[in-house]
Amino acid sequence: MSTPYPTYEDVMREAGEIAAASPTLATYSEVGKSEEGRPIPLLIITDPAIASEHKSVFLLSGGTDGNEEVGRAVALGMARKLLEPQYRSHLQKQVTLIVPVTNPDGTVREQADKLGNARGIDAASVHPHNGPALTAEGRAMRQLVETWIPDAHVDFHGLAGGSMGDYAFLYPTVNRNWSIAVLVQVAAELDKAGAAAGYPQSAQPRIWTEPRMNLPGWMARNQGALCMVVESPENYYPIEDSVRSGVARMLRLLEIGEEVGYFQTMPNYPCDVVSGGRMGALMPWGADYTQRRQCRRAMAMMINEGVPWFGREARDDGWVARIRLPIEDTVRTFPPGMVFQATLDRRAVPREVRWNDCKLAEDQWTIASGTGGLIVRAEVPQPPQPGQNILSILYEVPFRRHVTRLD
């Protein structure tokens, strides 16, 4: 049996070579060490002429299961591809973090059934929801994502032993219903990109509705990021074809991260509707990408700590759209500000927006035409308070209700 490519030694050598070949665009460093002291390599690929606060952040990791070579190969292939001249625009709009092997010890051991690290702990058991990571590798990766707060994360795997197998595992955020729909749409786009490149896969994505203890599951719940595990055929194609398949999918994901959609008002991965949906959404506040990422993380933590529900009232009584944000006394983390968005009838004329009992200044809210109606976007540059918080949009319409309430 031949040695799987790339080995840990291959990854370390090639990661250094990639950075050395493009020193102005690629930086090599190490996020930490494994249980047995092996370095965990990191490539940061971006155009340094544009500050990171003006960019989204994407994290691609591989080599999480030691016996799966495709993830390691795709991560290296993606790094090389991004440094080709035709993809320079991605580097101007995004910071791409690539960790081609997150489990050095499992990779070195080269055992056919070696999923876990040197202590036999596999990636699905490393990141408890309310506690520190349980392994040296997990602590290193947790520090990386706490520093950068990526907008999207893909942990790329292969199917050890060879199979067409599952395409992706999807991890909902605290905004479960909205994020599941978004994840399914994004997964379908990546599937189309793979098929267009000549590498279709057979199975449907799986949605992990229960909390997961791997890094994508932890990030989705605690940071509100778009997270998935992508599986690619292993031993079905030559390794070069598996890399082309994976890179085609990842390039499409980068394109999605530069589009405006999913009820967002600026280019980004679809991760900014932290709670709610098109009729009433809670979104991160901030002047740049970095501030919004920090705010999104704080919002996710706040919801986990004690926001039992969030949403717009079913009836706009008195032509007032009310979005409620109840906060329990258990909450200890508050965002520095918030953005609310709501969709109104196209014929509506918004007159006033209030946050609790205070009228917002006219420069704190805007009106835009969107899919399905008018989009009112209100910025609240202050933290919410424990108890009931209400954003109210007062508006007029040129018609009367055709049903009169009897209760």
> What are the start and end residues of each CATH 3.40.630.10 domain in the chain?
8-256
Judge contact between 133 and 34, C-beta under 8 A: no
DSSP characters over 151-166: SEEEEEEE-TT--S--
Neighbours of 305 (CB within 10 A): 16
Q: Cα(315)–Cα(317) distance, rounded to whole angstroms? A: 6
pLDDT at 211: 78
pLDDT at 65: 85
DSSP state of 142: H
DSSP characters over 268-321: S-S----EEETTEEEEE--SSHHHHHHHHHHHHHHHHHH----EE-S--TTSEE
Given 3.40.190.10, 2.60.40.1180, 3.40.1080.10, 1.10.3720.10, which CATH number is that of 275-396? 2.60.40.1180
Axis-axis angle for helices 136-148, 215-223 (nearest 10) = 30
Which regions in the chain score pLDDT beneath 50? 1, 111-113
Q: Cα(264)–Cα(315) distance, rounded to whole angstroms? A: 24
b/e per residue, 17-54, with b = 16+ CB within 10 A? ebbeebeebbebeebbbbbeebbbbbbbbbbeeeebee
Tokens linked to 385: 């308070």
Judge contact between 29 and 55, C-beta under 8 A: no
pLDDT at 162: 63
b/e per residue, 284-302, with b = 16+ CB within 10 A? bbbeebbebbbbbbbbbbb
Q: Cα(229)–Cα(216) distance, rounded to whole angstroms? A: 7
pLDDT at 113: 46
**What topology is assigned to 8-256 in CATH?**
Aminopeptidase (3.40.630)
* Residue 260, amino acid: V
Q: Cα(127)–Cα(219) distance, rounded to whole angstroms? A: 9
pLDDT at 345: 95
pLDDT at 371: 83
Task: Give the list of residues 6+ apart from residue 347 with CB closer than 8 angstroms, or none.
Answer: 397, 398, 399
> What are the start and end residues of each CATH 2.60.40.1180 domain in the chain?
275-396
> Residue for token digits 């460093």?
29
